[in-house]
Structure 1
């Protein structure tokens, strides 16, 4: 009996280990439920109607990233993503075999480098209560996900926060308070599940000075996190990826050595109507992250590839006007 059980147990151990080390290829697809609710139809290359998640899976994706707003509106493009909606979507994606990343915006709508607005309900809280509200919200969402039997692998504390979050209290003008807020988020996640990897996320992944400035300050404030998350959009710095990819590679290597952390490109995107260029951008980005030493590069995620421009107005999606995936997404097959 012992000898018969050994291969089974060994096989399970190998499976679990290999799954944990599998390179994450995926996308933030948080718009998808609202696209479906407004009647948007998705089709495969042969014209067959198909679930968008299945279309992404068919192209090699294994991970979804889902944003969480605090008290969002019902606007299809800038609202939704409530705790309840995010959990329902996470359950659906997990059933299809996707790994799960949760991205806390700590706002009622978009949080990014240009805006980090407090949720309306937190607007007038003194700092100690603001920090507690962040902890409680994070703990509440993560506990609800756990109760729903969602195995979350990664959690972002804040979204693109080179200038901090929950302005003005958590601005980088006050790094002591920002450090407290980030650690509150970390502690809330780990209180629910110690195995979840916590990500702190900054934009402009090819800008080494921006990253050194931010993470040097985070180190000084003893901010706790497991993974450095990067956005990489050559479009927004008005350059082609061929002009910036070497800088991304240099920054990724520097982050690993300087901070002894794993790294992950949690957002990438190219122009939807420049298919070959976007495919080449994705291939180069995946290659750069995969090539990092000791498997410190965890993965690459596209931001809203299915968010076709006629629905979203977003020109960095990777979907064709006929409802079919862009061939650029074939970069994820390898």
Structure 2
């Protein structure tokens, strides 16, 4: 059920499988019902329709790790893209624009560009040539991705000098120039590829996207963000849905996706490598395969109903192995993988998230759309239906053109009955606004209204 289509809009479920080649070289075999099986096929058979892959520039730190083989460089990524496309899966390629992990704590430029980090024109030229060369190479072997993500969790300046991680800084003029350079490099040769921006944490997304667009970074297709409960609490699933609604209202031409998420199924560990996720949303405690599945399904139902375009689970195949990371032997994520400590697929765990039919459980629109009118004489916002469809548990949100929420709540707070309800508006302050009305079953109406002449 990974590519689910309702009213012409595709909803994509995907998995990040960047670690798989390394795991297999470290001796890992993956099993389903006791039988060894290709892990790409496991995910594809259960409904994954997109594979996300990270790309590092020159990960030379691998040279002294394990067997000395490098991963997530272009040679390794080519192998992974080929595996995904052989099964008809789409690919999201994450240009991390670094030799090492890029995230909110560090955004280090490749060592090859170290001399250019303070020379913006030279840095832009290096970035442009790099992206063009990578895409040219992939195009030559028919392995172009469907989506490109520029940077990874870019909550600060990208392409900084190695070692720069404090203090936090964001020079919008420099950052915007670099992002636009990357965008132009993609558009110049392969305009059909969708472009995504990626922010860590739902609570940060609006500020950053407003910053990008107000500084001229506008030619992108997808607003992407990470959502991990341990890192981004107390942001709830419901609040994440509200965020997506606001983004869809403020940026109706953009898709919204969760590009990274994860949830543990146990607090136990299979090795000495410290795990990066160790807690769950209290509403989904204790950690268990069933609660991992429930959290993911509830999150996805909410994202779908809010108008989101998809969710990608980060590294569900990063199981424990004899190999090491820079921080320890094993995996830092085996308690959030979709496999048990013997590398057997957990049938009642997270894999069920891919199988769930979101189109049947929650629709985005209703054919029986209520009528919304503005009664300017009495300054009333009226919602009416002749079919007695007005459920008092429907929610509403009034958003200004700047994206600020002016008012929100439930229809039960309005006066009236199940045929007509009305809200008295303040005498001033609301001019051109957007009203959205929805329930747990999806968005019923999102329209602009001119309230004050």
TM value normalised by structure 1: 0.86
Which residue of 2 is the match for residue 177 of structure 1?
174
Matches of 1:278 and 1:299 in 2, distance apart? 18
Higher percent of residues as helix: 1
Matched, 1:94 2:85: yes
Which sections of structure 1, spanning at least 5 residues, go unmatched? 1-16
Matches of 1:55 and 1:25 in 2, distance apart? 14
Matches of 1:186 and 1:172 in 2, distance apart? 22
How far the C-alpha of 1:64 sits from its partner, in A, is 0.1
Deviations 1:242-296 (A, max 9, x none): x610110011111111223111111110013132221112101211222134xxx
Runs of 4+ in 1 over 6 A off after TM superposition: none
- Cα–Cα, structure 1 residues 22 and 212, in superposed 2: closer, same or farther, change >3 Å? closer
> Which of 276, 291, 297 pairs up with 1:283?
297
Matched, 1:228 2:223: yes
Deviations 1:82-137 (A, max 9, x none): 11211121012101111111001000010001111111111111221111111111
- Cα–Cα, structure 1 residues 316 and 132, in superposed 2: closer, same or farther, change >3 Å? farther
How far the C-alpha of 1:202 sits from its partner, in A, is 0.3
> Which of 248, 251, 256 pairs up with 2:243?
251
Preserved CA contact (<8 Å) 1:308 1:323: yes
Matches of 2:311 and 2:70 in 1, distance apart? 25
Within 5 Å, which residues of 2 pair with 1:140-289?
140-167=133-160, 173-205=170-202, 207=203, 210-223=204-217, 224-237=219-232, 244-260=236-252, 261-273=254-266, 274=287, 275-289=289-303
Preserved CA contact (<8 Å) 2:258 2:312: yes
- Cα–Cα, structure 1 residues 144 and 38, in superposed 2: closer, same or farther, change >3 Å? same
How far the C-alpha of 1:309 sits from its partner, in A, is 4.1
- Secondary structure at the residue paired with 2:58? coil
- Secondary structure at the residue paired with 2:245? helix
Which residue of 2 is the match for residue 333 of structure 1?
355
Matches of 1:232 and 1:83 in 2, distance apart? 27
Aligned residues: 307
Matches of 2:232 and 2:201 in 1, distance apart? 8
- Secondary structure at the residue paired with 1:317? coil
**Larger deviation, residues 73-82 vs 93-102:** 73-82
Higher relative contact order (CA 8 A, sep 6+): 1
How far the C-alpha of 1:193 sits from its partner, in A, is 1.2
Which residue of 2 is the match for residue 118 of structure 1?
109
Matches of 1:290 and 1:150 in 2, distance apart? 29
Preserved CA contact (<8 Å) 2:135 2:144: no
Matches of 2:350 and 2:222 in 1, distance apart? 27
Preserved CA contact (<8 Å) 2:205 2:225: no
Which residue of 2 is the match for residue 4 of structure 1?
none
Which residue of 2 is the match for residue 316 of structure 1?
336
**Higher Cα Rg: structure 1 or 2?**
2
Which residue of 1 is the match for residue 96 of structure 2?
105
How far the C-alpha of 1:238 sits from its partner, in A, is 5.1
How far the C-alpha of 1:79 sits from its partner, in A, is 5.4
Which residue of 2 is the match for residue 31 of structure 1?
19
Matched, 1:128 2:125: no
Matches of 2:310 and 2:154 in 1, distance apart? 20
Preserved CA contact (<8 Å) 2:40 2:83: no
- Secondary structure at the residue paired with 1:22? strand
- Secondary structure at the residue paired with 2:35? coil
Which sections of structure 2, spanning at least 5 residues, go unmatched? 267-286, 322-329, 357-453
Which residue of 2 is the match for residue 84 of structure 1?
75
How far the C-alpha of 1:333 sits from its partner, in A, is 0.6
Preserved CA contact (<8 Å) 2:31 2:344: yes
